[in-house]
């Protein structure tokens, strides 16, 4: 039995080293490990050229908790409010497409402040190789410091909803946990789920999860396992699977699934309305 387990461990380690484990990733493996997988990188086609409208917000700087400066794309509410929406970018970085998504939410909700948080400190990838480099080398300590700085920037009475895609989907979960009692909601688009049951049982808010049924990386099995842990901990959540692959809602994706994105966006708006109308 011991020999069998040793052989299995060797085979798994070999496959990870060779970049061949994308379809067997478990929820306790970090996104940075996933990002190093060559098949995961190959599945991300280079973003289409941006042809959107002029930015409605502005780039701001705020202090991170490690005393270094952090960046974000900010749209201020029409009048003073406790409502905040934190947006987390995909592995490409805080590019024009993410800013456009922030602008779209601003059109829908005038009664919240929107901050798209830059986890890459100004770096933006325009091809998968660079995105792989940025995401796999990103330090969790720095990302946490940036998010904690954003929470402090929003203020102690802020009610924060987090939302992110892919890499940002996983950080949307982490953001809610860092915000703790200030967390008012969490939206995850095909992000890496949390696997630590001690963290899950203390999750501070409900979760809207949006996933692709045919995602080979953030798989249905991983999400079902995450959901079982949420159920065991009594954490309210609503997960929806679409007949789509990873990154289906990214408008810069040449394989962008328009219909699934439209439905997921409507679901997201409905969720956010319940959050922002509470204040």
**CATH code for the domain in which residue 95 is found:** 3.40.50.1820
Residue 37 lies in domain? 2-276
Mean pLDDT confidence for 230-242: 98
Cα gap 47→166, rounded to integer Å: 14
Q: Is the pLDDT of residue 166 over 60?
A: yes
| Contact by Cβ (8 Å): 210, 223 | no
The pLDDT value recorded for residue 6 is: 37
- DSSP codes, 187-217: EEESPPPP--HHHHTT--S-EEEEEETT-SS
pTM of the model as a whole = 0.89
In the block, tokens 């490990």 appear at 33
The pLDDT value recorded for residue 213 is: 97
The pLDDT value recorded for residue 16 is: 36
Cα gap 107→52, rounded to integer Å: 15
The pLDDT value recorded for residue 32 is: 85
| Coil/strand/helix, residue 91 | coil
Q: Classify residue 56 as left (phi > 0), alpha (psi -120 to 50) or beta.
A: alpha
Number of domain units in the chain = 1
Cα gap 65→142, rounded to integer Å: 9
Per the prediction, the chain carries an average pLDDT of: 89
For 65-79, the pLDDT digits (tens) are 999 999 999 999 999
Q: Is the pLDDT of residue 61 over 90?
A: yes
Contacts 24+ apart (CB under 8 A), 64-70: 64/142, 64/145, 64/146, 64/148, 64/149, 65/144, 65/145, 65/148, 65/149, 65/152, 66/141, 66/142, 66/145, 68/145, 70/117, 70/118, 70/121, 70/145, 70/146, 70/149, 70/150
The pLDDT value recorded for residue 121 is: 98
The pLDDT value recorded for residue 4 is: 38
Q: Is the pLDDT of residue 27 over 60?
A: no
The pLDDT value recorded for residue 277 is: 87
Is residue 265 very low, low, confident or very high in pLDDT (cuts 50, 70, 90)?
very high
């Amino acid at each position: 039995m011991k020999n069998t387990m040793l052989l299995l461990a060797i085979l798994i380690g070999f496959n990870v080293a060779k970049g061949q484990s994308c379809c067997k990733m478990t929820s306790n493996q970090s996104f940075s490990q996933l990002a190093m997988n060559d098949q995961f990188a190959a599945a991300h086609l280079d973003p289409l050229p941006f042809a959107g409208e002029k930015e409605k917000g502005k780039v701001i700087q705020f202090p991170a908790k490690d005393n270094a400066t952090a960046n974000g794309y900010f749209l201020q509410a029409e009048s003073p409010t406790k409502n905040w929406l934190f947006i987390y970018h995909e592995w490409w970085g805080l590019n024009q497409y993410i800013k456009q998504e922030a602008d779209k939410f601003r059109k829908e909700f005038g009664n919240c402040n929107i901050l798209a948080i830059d986890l890459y400190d100004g770096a933006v990838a325009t091809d998968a190789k660079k995105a792989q480099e940025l995401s796999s080398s990103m330090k969790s300590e720095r990302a946490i410091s940036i998010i904690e700085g954003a929470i402090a920037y929003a203020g102690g009475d802020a009610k924060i909803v987090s939302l992110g895609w892919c890499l940002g989907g996983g950080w949307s979960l982490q953001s809610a946990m860092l915000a703790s009692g200030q967390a008012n909601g969490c939206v995850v688009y095909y992000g890496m789920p949390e696997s630590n049951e001690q963290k899950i049982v203390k999750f501070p808010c409900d979760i809207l999860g949006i996933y692709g049924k045919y995602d080979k990386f953030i798989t249905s099995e991983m999400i079902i396992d995450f959901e079982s842990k949420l159920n065991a901990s009594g954490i309210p959540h609503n997960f929806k699977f679409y007949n789509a692959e990873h990154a289906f809602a990214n408008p810069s994706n040449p394989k962008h699934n328009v219909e699934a994105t439209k439905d997921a966006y409507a679901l997201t708006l409905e969720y956010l309305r319940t959050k922002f109308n509470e204040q």
